[in-house]
Amino acid sequence: MNQLDQLKQHTTVVADTGNFKQLGAFAPRDATTNPSLILKAVQQPDYAPLLAETVAAHKGQPMEQVVDEVLVRFGREILKVVPGRVSTEVDARLSFDTACTVQRARRIMAMYEAAGIGRERVLIKIAATWEGIQAARILEHEGIHCNLTLLFSFCQAVACGDAGVRLISPFVGRIYDWYKKSAGSAWDEAANAGVNDPGVKSVSQIYTYYKKFDIGTEVMGASFRNVGQIVALAGCDLLTISPELLAQLQASDAPLERRLDPESARQSAIHAVTYNEASFRYALNEDAMATEKLSEGIRAFAADAIKLDKMIEGLK
């Protein structure tokens, strides 16, 4: 078997793309999107008509509603290809507003339901700020399941577990990027590869903690820079992978072994922790990497949301 098929024996494979015409070749169960991926897709000739058609069908509506209609339209097309779930993101500009995040998430889910798609097939993506995690707590109680994204630290993961979040997306590659940049010329790629990769270590720690304490939140490693990071996390609940890296896995017949295992995790000698708002904010502040990457990620997603707004405005 190729490495992609081997990986699927241990882990649910998710495609990280807004390009639904690519999905069939890799047969992922789920797919994830974000504003940057949707923006990238709608700039391609294959998808421009879909954008124009959706905008035309909702002329006269407020911009934020039209944007959500576009995101949901892409999600609906993706769900024609994948048998599982699609993740659709709430505007990153609401990352520090619990009430508005809840409101937008409810509207996105209502749009899916109006199209005949059940809640079990949709995850609402929200940035893992304190406010975002509290929004997810409310939504989960309403049966709207969430994917907490831009997750870089252990305290974010613990707070998500305590909130009963359905799924988290710890960002492997962006953690790796930060440590590599921080080390500069002292960075030793070989010494920081595989299980020693700082992003891989972060996800492994979270996975072990969740399994040790029977936390039901699913762990989905995200933001990969190379196949080695993926191979080192074989056995994680889910991994969301770009089409480029899916193709590399599919082209390789190298052996792939399970690295993360729930039984081994349950034997770990670790202690349970919990965070209130103050201790969460302090723990996040103490983690320079997580603080910087969370802020940077929100800014980048917000910038692409603004670009998407302008594209839509030009079609209205």
For residue 263, which amino acid is it?
E
Element (H, E) at 227: helix 227-232
Q: Is 77 helix (H, G, I), strand (E, B) or coil?
A: helix
Q: pLDDT for 256-277, tens place per residue? A: 999 999 999 999 999 999 999 9
Give the residue-averaged pLDDT of 232-245.
97
What is the chain's mean pLDDT, rounded?
96
End-to-end CA distance of the chain: 49
How far from the centroid of its chain's Cα atoms is residue 259's Cα?
Answer: 21
Residue 46: C-alpha distances to residues 20, 21, 22, 40, 86 (Å): 10, 9, 11, 11, 20
- Do the Cβ atoms of 37 and 18 come closer than 8 Å? yes
What is the number of domains present in the chain? 1
Give the residue-averaged pLDDT of 128-133.
98
Give the residue-averaged pLDDT of 293-316.
94
pTM: 0.96
125 is catalytic: yes
DSSP assigned state of 195: G
CA–CA separation, 271 and 153 (whole Å): 17
Q: pLDDT for 46-80, tens place per residue? A: 998 999 999 999 999 999 999 999 999 999 999 99
pLDDT at residue 316 is higher than 80? no
- Do the Cβ atoms of 171 and 157 come closer than 8 Å? no
Taking 3-state DSSP, the helix, strand and coil percentages for the chain, each rounded to the nearest 5, stand at 60, 10, 30
- Do the Cβ atoms of 172 and 229 come closer than 8 Å? yes
Which one is catalytic: 8, 40, 125, 201? 125
Q: How confident is the model at residue 128 (pLDDT cuts 50, 70, 90)?
A: very high
| Residue 238, domain extent | 3-315
Percent of the chain predicted with pLDDT > 70: 100
* Per-residue confidence (pLDDT) for residue 35, from 0 to 100: 82
CA–CA separation, 292 and 266 (whole Å): 32
Q: How confident is the model at residue 194 (pLDDT cuts 50, 70, 90)?
A: very high
Which tokens go with 110? 């209502």
CATH number at residue 152: 3.20.20.70
CA–CA separation, 22 and 97 (whole Å): 35
